[in-house]
């Protein structure tokens, strides 16, 4: 478990370094991307109970949100 904690801490430090190196005007877009990503990976478990058609629709909506967030980030 200690190895897992070290890996998590290392990842967190690297994430924070990347954020600090990014111009602050991009932070709101990055935050939107992070939130969409979190939602996309955590919602998978909930969607397992849905039919495949509903699952595909949900995943498409998530992909559209990610696309829009990335579009905003590259727009500026």
Q: What is the pLDDT of residues 3-39, one digit of tens each?
A: 778 999 999 999 999 999 999 999 999 999 999 888 8
pLDDT of 59 = 86
Query: Measured at the alpha carbon of residue 21, what is the angle toward residues 17 and 23, in degrees to the nearest 5?
Result: 140
Q: What is the pLDDT of residues 57-75, one digit of tens each?
A: 888 888 898 888 888 887 7
Q: How far apart are CA 71 and CA 3, in angstroms?
A: 37
Max Cα–Cα distance, the chain, nearest Å: 43
């Amino acid at each position: 478990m200690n190895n897992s904690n070290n890996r998590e801490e290392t990842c967190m430090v690297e994430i924070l370094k990347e954020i600090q190196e990014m111009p602050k005007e991009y932070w709101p877009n990055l935050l939107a991307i992070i939130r969409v990503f979190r939602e996309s990976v955590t919602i998978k478990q909930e969607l397992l109970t849905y039919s495949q058609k509903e699952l595909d629709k949900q995943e498409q909506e998530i992909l559209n949100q990610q696309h829009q967030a990335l579009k905003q980030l590259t727009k500026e």
